[in-house]
Amino acid sequence: MEDEPIEILLVEPSPGDTRLFTESFKDASLTNSVHTVSDGEEALDFVHQRDAYSDKPQPDLILLEPQLPGTSGFDVLSELKNEEALCDIPVVVLTSSDVGEKIVKSHDIDAEHYLQKPVESDDFIEFVQSVENFWLTIVQQTTPTQEQG
């Protein structure tokens, strides 16, 4: 499993941040494929593999900005956690501060992990390393494959 590429869905409304994220992930030590969407409705279409995303892979990991136009990140997270087919996809909520994490938790929805979004472009490398460490922890916790019988 560690040799297989990680399918990452980045849900980020800022084109500048999206570019920094994708460029940083290209330099990552883990093999990955980053798919990007800019709003909550697109994120739900992607994970449900609807419409323009019908041929896209199910993401292994979702990086979610909670402040989205239209369907909010809170609504996306709620739907992910309440649908049996989607609830096992790990979600990293991107926050702008410690306060951001508290705001997300105040909606009574919990993600697997919270990471503070980098402010400076140089900090994106450290951010990507944090995501890699989180992913390796997930891989270690789920191997060998746990299947329900």
pLDDT digits (tens, 9 = 90+) for 63-80: 999 889 999 888 999 999
pLDDT value of residue 145: 46
Which range marks the domain in which residue 71 is found?
6-127
Average pLDDT over residues 38-45: 96
Element (H, E) at 115: strand 113-116
pLDDT value of residue 51: 95
pLDDT value of residue 3: 62
Q: Give Cβ neighbours of residue 58 (< 8 Å, ≥ 6 apart).
A: 7, 47, 49, 89
Lowest mean pLDDT among 43-47, 92-96, 107-111, 142-146: 142-146
Rounded Cα distance, 75 and 70, in Å: 10
Q: What is the mean pLDDT of the chain?
A: 83
Rounded Cα distance, 85 and 65, in Å: 21
Query: How does residue 147 score in pLDDT terms, banded at 50, 70 and 90?
Result: very low
pLDDT value of residue 28: 77
- C-beta neighbour count of 47 within 10 angstroms: 23
CATH code at position 84:
3.40.50.2300
User: Is residue 140 in a domain?
Assistant: no
Count of domains forming the chain: 1
